[in-house]
Structure 1
Amino acid sequence: MQKNITNLKQLIRAGRGLIPASTVILNGTLVNVMSSEIYKADVAIYEDTIVAIGDVQDYTGPETKTIDASGKYLVPGLIDGHIHSECSKLSITSFAKAVVPCGTTSIVSGLDEYISVSGLEGLKEVFEEINASPLKVFWGAPYRTPYTFPQSTVAFNFNKEVHAKVQQWPECFGVWETVREYVQEEDEETLGAIEQAFKNRLPVFGCAPMARGKDLNGYLCAGVRLDHESYDHEEVVEKMRNGMHMVIRESSVTHFLKENIRAVTEVNPAFARRVSFCTDDVTATDVIEKGHVDNLVRLAIAEGVAPLTAIQMATINSAEAYRIDHLVGSISPGKIADILLVDSPETFHVNAVISNGRLVAENSKLNYKLFAPTRSSVLSSELKCAKTTKSDFEYRVDLENGQAKVLAMNVIGPFVRKRRDVILEVEDFIVRPDIEQDVLMVSVLERFGRNGNKSLAFCSGWKLKKGAMASSAAPDDNNIIVMGADAADMSLAVNHLIENGGGQVVVADGKIIEFLSLPVGGIASDLEPEEIAYRETLLTKAANQLGCDLPEPLMYMFFLPITAIPDYAITDVGPVDCIALETFDPILELVKDK
């Protein structure tokens, strides 16, 4: 994506037809997202750049490769406008194998989970990995790390001084996922990141679930350009009327497209031009079974959006929202040659993918071998924490026997946790979890060797009847999170992760039931997407056998440390009231036996 005088001269000459194209695509029907037209047109590509559309007969030379697109529609490469690829548990290489054949050629990401476990050194290794893949990543520098409030523990703290440096990097295209609470609380690290963005003319990406009225106005006055977090279409309408670009999210656990697209289909069709798509957090299983951004195009069409409009949402709208439309988002001269061959705009099945001017995928598979890089110690998965014992997961109080009134964090969907007051038994100074009342223990353990923090609280909604499950992949800080009905099983689950360098595990009756190793930073794997999908299925089945009926038990669990989600969370510093932005004591009252 870098330009210099030498390659600019070559591109100009190629655009003028003075030197032959590297590749031409013939006999296709162009979906022109710039003019909202669909018509017959050929495309000429020089190396990785589109140089002509229309009649390209004058651009063909003896060495020019030809791609026959007869019966196919030519569509720009799709853009995921906000994604934590790490939450898929796929490394960048494996993630590219999964989504590029679906037509996703660009993503916008903060790569923040990698930063939280390996800092800038690990991030630079990920950049090198990206450069070797067919997937482009438009990186936004995280507004800060950790995102949690109060501040939890991560391996690297991203602050305003770091922003002063990294915003100068060529990889940086903005400030990533600026959470409303930090703006509203006038956090100086966050405001410092925004200050640098203004100096560098970089856009500020937002994260403002349920922001309305005066809170929204204050947030917008900080200069935030777009948002991917709206819980209903009225929220979308208000944000768009106030000038925001809206990124509609349809993740593996938050299915918001059907509701949010109503802003376009029922309120104002003119909103469509500033609506784009993202998947945010997606599992390998969902990508394999449903597709990626291509699936969102099909879902939007099913909700009544015109096919051309849905394609614009997945391409040029996203590029314009993130100010990357000079590079991607359309099939037009001067843009990177990311082009899809699809069956039709209405059904939108991707048959072939051209990325950076090269045919890289056909029939839902990459057409060449893509290998992950050799991993250095920087992205190792060593968990730097001490082994646990059963007592680490027993909630002890100053009451030998009696009852405790506790606040349990009750999950209502993946991104809402509400207060649930429950009476639990106290035996031998320990507050006992109660599977009959669906109350489990949950803990987060700091795993970077910085302070040894351990938290302990109560949660509801998972319905485990026994056992435990744990994960070292847990945004936003990727400390170890463990949940269970039995303290001994919780300890076994955590110790198994420590011994094996991270992953996800389900335990019952003192035995490991299922385990997925995540050797890349303790958060991702270089396994093939199909293998990760298979392991995800086994983990979910194991949790289901313990009584959990949630659609994604481990993903619901590993979202618990995110303090931007109302109303409760838990990090290594303790359970958090996400409204008051402070830790709380889950023991509300102790009553001695009479």
Structure 2
Amino acid sequence: MKQTVTNLKQLIRAGRGIIPAHTVILNGTLVNVMTSEVYKADVAIYEDTIVAVGDVTDYIGDETKTINAEGKFLVPGLIDGHIHSECSKLSITSYAKAVVPCGTTSMISGLDEYISVSGLEGLQEVFDEIKLSPLKVFWGAPYKTPYTFPQSTVAFNFTKEVHENVQKWTECFGVWETVREYVTEEDEDTLGAIAEAAKNRLPIFGCAPMARGKELNGYLCAGIRLDHESYDHEEVVEKMRKGMHMLIRESSVTHFLKENIRAVTEVNPALARRVSFCTDDVTAGDVLEKGHLDNLVRLAIKEGVEPMVAIQMATINSAEAYRIDHLVGSISPGRIADILLVDGIETFNVETVITNGKLVAKDGKLAYELKAPKRSAVLTSELKCAKTTKEDFEYRVEIENGKAKVLSMDVKGPFVRKRRDVVLEVKDGIVQPDTEQDVLMVSVLERFGRNGNKSLAFCSGWKLKKGAMASSAAPDDNNIIVMGASAEDMSIAVNHLIENGGGQVVVADGEVIEFLPLPVGGIASDLEPEEIARLDKMINKAANDLGCDLPEPLMYMFFLPITAIPDYAITDVGPVDCIALNTFNPILELIENK
């Protein structure tokens, strides 16, 4: 409920038992994450707020609804501490259908992918959608958009002047994903956002992969509160010893929990109370198959974390890290009534989900029909770029025939690209991709009608033997990214996305093999999670059939424009050296035939 004097009076009276509760949960066993205790207790709820925990006999009226939790454990709703739900290709509505039945009732997000394609107007539509959803979103205003360095092209640029406005919005709970390089390079917009947050007493959420020593110290001097990016447990320990809250990430493609939890299980158990969980980027198929944060709780327990501690990591720890523990994170009077009924704290299977005081999911499914809102033109997916030809994806050089030594961005995991020097043939003035050497062409095309930028470079690690694949969903800027062994197939793939308003596509021998439409901003869909999971599986299989052996071929590809993680990336402004923070020429040397 919105807090007014009238509402506060009602809540206080409900808390004192003067007026009856609307709902009570009886006969359950409370998991008290505040005191690390487990004991029998009932819960009374008035509207959307917990008003009593313990003996609630005096809170029951003639019209009070009862939920029998006999044999079940009462756990606070789970909180995902850092998530780009857009990367699942599910709209907010569809995403809620997937994760709420798993017990995730809150997430912290910048909704930055929506902002990059639709600006503040589109963001307001997403806020309206969230209000209709059982999933809470605690929004952090992105420190800037885009996150790329040098700056790539997006539909809307988040600047320090924008922060002066949006940080005063009731939806704003902090500054989101403040990338280290922008702090240490003293970017004016980033420092302006941080300075504005100091005025508004808002926390700064970080993003500092591999930050250690002096670089970490300088970063922390900007007032960064927490981080979700650590590549090993030593990095976690250093960051925590220097005062940070740490989020352990376990996404669909970055499986860091097993390594990073060692900070707690091997180095210092006392660190646990300032460790929480996030998933960052997940696929619909993974959520449906494994679960969401409930899966992270089970994984942590498997790695030797005590069940109570693992549950704290998924609830109160995250709430405290983000300064929202007065609202969520525990089953306590005055908190929002987000409560799970689970079978046991060791097994942690979520059976019933209550959000805002209402039963919304049971036995893995939503308990009611949730419909997506009607989409306006702001969040439609027109790609404002010209059709391409195969010539757009041919790398032309000054010699007619010979050899070209090139720098190929070699994928070593979803977020790591290393330098690989390769010698390629030059025929008729065009550098030839080489599937035998596992070298493909890759390009990013600006799709917002702002400048028509196109880039072109070389990449390795996908092992496509022919064809191409493309996506209009590609954080951090969501321009079109296309990769392939054939310039003609690359052009067909891009043109198919333009003709169909965005999505993901695989092409071979001049034919579209699979297509996954993404009509919400070109980055998401209102389809059911099960249908997106099916289409995901089909399009990844199509890439696998062309030779790719990566677990998520298109997700690995659409992470290529992220410049925040070393060593190489590509955006619409060109291939990027993520260490030097500038673009580079992938042609290292040309040797003409004599």
TM-score computed with the length of structure 2 as normaliser: 1.00
1:205 corresponding residue in structure 2: 205
Whether 1:373 aligns to 2:385 is no
Whether 1:187 aligns to 2:208 is no
Whether 1:409 aligns to 2:409 is yes
1:390-424 residue CA offsets vs partner (Å, 9 max, x unmatched): 00000000110000000000000111100000000
Gapped regions of structure 1 (runs ≥ 5): none
Partners of 2:201 and 2:6 lie apart in 1 by 27
1:517 corresponding residue in structure 2: 517
Partners of 1:531 and 1:559 lie apart in 2 by 23
Partners of 2:364 and 2:7 lie apart in 1 by 33
2:295 corresponding residue in structure 1: 295
1:79-128 residue CA offsets vs partner (Å, 9 max, x unmatched): 00000000000000000000000000000000000000000000000000
Q: What does residue range 336-415 of structure 1 map to in structure 2 within 5 Å?
A: 336-415=336-415
1:451 corresponding residue in structure 2: 451
Q: What does residue range 496-511 of structure 1 map to in structure 2 within 5 Å?
A: 496-511=496-511
Q: Which amino acid in the other structure matches residue 20 of structure 1?
A: P
2:56 corresponding residue in structure 1: 56
Partners of 2:17 and 2:82 lie apart in 1 by 37
1:159-180 residue CA offsets vs partner (Å, 9 max, x unmatched): 0000000000000000000000
Partners of 2:311 and 2:55 lie apart in 1 by 24
Q: What does residue range 124-163 of structure 1 map to in structure 2 within 5 Å?
A: 124-163=124-163
RMSD over equivalenced CA pairs, Å: 0.4
Partners of 1:450 and 1:234 lie apart in 2 by 43
Partners of 1:550 and 1:557 lie apart in 2 by 10
1:474 corresponding residue in structure 2: 474
Partners of 1:4 and 1:367 lie apart in 2 by 31
Aligned residue for 2:67, secondary structure, equals strand
Q: Which structure 1 residue ranges, 4+ long, deviate > 3 Å from structure 2?
A: none
2:83 corresponding residue in structure 1: 83
Partners of 1:208 and 1:73 lie apart in 2 by 37
1:545 corresponding residue in structure 2: 545
2:103 corresponding residue in structure 1: 103
2:71 corresponding residue in structure 1: 71
Aligned residue for 2:138, secondary structure, equals strand
2:578 corresponding residue in structure 1: 578
After TM superposition, give the deviation of residue 565 of structure 1 in Å: 1.4
1:17-56 residue CA offsets vs partner (Å, 9 max, x unmatched): 0000000000000000001000000000000000000000
Partners of 2:546 and 2:183 lie apart in 1 by 41
Q: Which amino acid in the other structure matches residue 454 of structure 1?
A: K
Aligned residue for 1:497, secondary structure, equals helix
Identity fraction in percent: 84
Partners of 2:6 and 2:569 lie apart in 1 by 53
Aligned residue for 2:193, secondary structure, equals helix
Partners of 1:565 and 1:552 lie apart in 2 by 19
Aligned residue for 2:360, secondary structure, equals strand
Partners of 2:3 and 2:214 lie apart in 1 by 43
Aligned residue for 1:45, secondary structure, equals strand
Q: Which amino acid in the other structure matches residue 72 of structure 2?
A: K
1:416-438 residue CA offsets vs partner (Å, 9 max, x unmatched): 10000000000000000000000
Q: Which amino acid in the other structure matches residue 148 of structure 2?
A: T
Q: Which amino acid in the other structure matches residue 198 of structure 2?
A: F
Q: What does residue range 527-542 of structure 1 map to in structure 2 within 5 Å?
A: 527-542=527-542
Aligned residue for 1:436, secondary structure, equals coil
Partners of 2:543 and 2:2 lie apart in 1 by 48
1:176 corresponding residue in structure 2: 176
2:568 corresponding residue in structure 1: 568
Q: What does residue range 219-368 of structure 1 map to in structure 2 within 5 Å?
A: 219-368=219-368
Partners of 2:517 and 2:394 lie apart in 1 by 27
Partners of 1:513 and 1:146 lie apart in 2 by 32
Q: Which amino acid in the other structure matches residue 520 of structure 2?
A: V
Partners of 1:540 and 1:152 lie apart in 2 by 27
Partners of 2:491 and 2:64 lie apart in 1 by 62
Aligned residue for 2:575, secondary structure, equals strand
Partners of 2:328 and 2:21 lie apart in 1 by 19
After TM superposition, give the deviation of residue 497 of structure 1 in Å: 0.1
Partners of 2:316 and 2:52 lie apart in 1 by 18
1:113-162 residue CA offsets vs partner (Å, 9 max, x unmatched): 00000000000000000000000000000000000000000000000000
Q: Which amino acid in the other structure matches residue 67 of structure 2?
A: I
Whether 1:484 aligns to 2:484 is yes
TM-score computed with the length of structure 1 as normaliser: 1.00
Gapped regions of structure 2 (runs ≥ 5): none
After TM superposition, give the deviation of residue 2 of structure 1 in Å: 2.8
Q: Which amino acid in the other structure matches residue 219 of structure 1?
A: Y
Aligned residues: 594
After TM superposition, give the deviation of residue 476 of structure 1 in Å: 0.2
After TM superposition, give the deviation of residue 381 of structure 1 in Å: 0.2
Partners of 1:77 and 1:246 lie apart in 2 by 20
1:329-359 residue CA offsets vs partner (Å, 9 max, x unmatched): 0000000000000000000000000000000
2:425 corresponding residue in structure 1: 425
Partners of 1:581 and 1:214 lie apart in 2 by 19
After TM superposition, give the deviation of residue 183 of structure 1 in Å: 0.1
1:530-577 residue CA offsets vs partner (Å, 9 max, x unmatched): 000000000111000000000000000000000001100000000000
Partners of 1:4 and 1:438 lie apart in 2 by 63
Q: Which amino acid in the other structure matches residue 566 of structure 1?
A: P
Partners of 1:475 and 1:2 lie apart in 2 by 34
